[in-house]
Amino acid sequence: MKLSQDFVPDDDLNKQLRSAKSQLALYAKDLKALLSRERKKTHKLETTNQQLQAYARDLKAAYATQQQKTRELEKAYADTVVRLTLASRYKDEETGAHIQRLSHYSKILALVIGLNEDDAQLIFDAAPMHDVGKVGIPDRIMQKQGPLDEEEWEVVKRHPILGANLLAGSPSLLLQTARDIALTHHERWDGSGYPQGLKGEAIPLGGRMVMLGDTYDALRSMRPYKPAFSHKKTCDIILNGSERTKPGHFDPTLLEAFRDKHLEFDRTFSEIREEETTP
């Protein structure tokens, strides 16, 4: 009888099965080793990732701490500069109130024209340093009772440049903004201001805001050469003009913002004046 070609004797079959089993065992061992290595890699990656996350948290906390210290240092420096300004004009009882009001006027305008809260606050914080250059103006001129003569007026007109020089060279955004304001808060939209005769948008926005607020506050306050004007008369002068003050002196956008929020200016002037004079 002839056996089929597919027939495999038992011994050969057993050998093949044992060989296959051994091969499977080797495959299983290799697979187990591979999985073990991958688990170790995964664990190592997870550990590294956790370490990186912890490092990122520590770095973020350190950065926040540094930022806070930087803000505190900037505030301390700005406060010193403001106090220096006040010290240079210690006989001017209106100076402290004027500085406070000017910050509020500027922030009112900033928010009306669409600046975000952070940018508006930056203007608020920088505005008090606008007149720091007056520390370099002689007391005999700053405290003179009565109008200044032409020579004295030319000396006073140097204070924007003196202030800008005092605030120059700092990496602080606050002090850079304060420098721009100190230098340009007497520039006029129509180019008739000083010290550089800048015109239009060549004048930094902060300088334009402080210029309008400064004008409002000066008109509302008593001066050796003029009485204190009412809010109504002050608005009429700013919006319609007078012999010395013209609507063309102001940024038209800010002028419209003032027209819209003039009552907030009046409220600010009244409230801060009361705070300053209340025992």
The amino acid at residue 19 is S
Q: Is 161 exposed, middle or buried (0-12, 13-18, 19+ CB in 10 A)?
A: middle
Residue 246 lies in a domain: yes
d(CA 155, CA 40): 78
Residue 124 maps to a domain: yes
pLDDT by residue (tens digit) across 178-188?
999 999 999 99
16 found inside a domain: yes
Same domain, residue pair 154 and 254: yes
Residue 60 is among the residues annotated as catalytic for this protein: no
Lookup: tokens for 212:
């309008």
Average confidence (pLDDT) over 120-138:
90
Contact assessment for residue 221 and residue 98, using Cβ atoms and an 8 Å cutoff: yes
**Of 134, 144, 233, 246, catalytic:** 134
- Report whether pLDDT(93) > 50: no
pLDDT at position 190 = 98
The winner for highest mean pLDDT among 56-60, 89-93, 204-208 is: 204-208
Residues 45, 128, single domain; the answer is no
Tell whether 1 is covered by a domain: no
Residue holding tokens 């850079």? 176
Q: Does 80 have pLDDT greater than 90?
A: no
Residue 142 is part of a domain; what is its CATH number?
1.10.3210.10
Is 3 within the bounds of a domain?
no
Residues 110 and 224 in one domain: yes
Give domain status of residue 2, yes or no: no
| Structural domains counted in the chain | 2
Cis peptide before 195 (omega within 30 of 0): yes
Residue range(s) defining the domain that contains residue 214: 94-277
Which of 88, 112, 140 is the C-terminal boundary of a domain? 88
Same domain membership, residue 221 and residue 83: no
For 220-267, the pLDDT digits (tens) are 998 877 899 999 999 999 999 999 999 999 999 999 999 999 999 999
- Same-domain pairing of 80 and 57: yes
Of residues 79 and 217, which shows the higher confidence score?
217
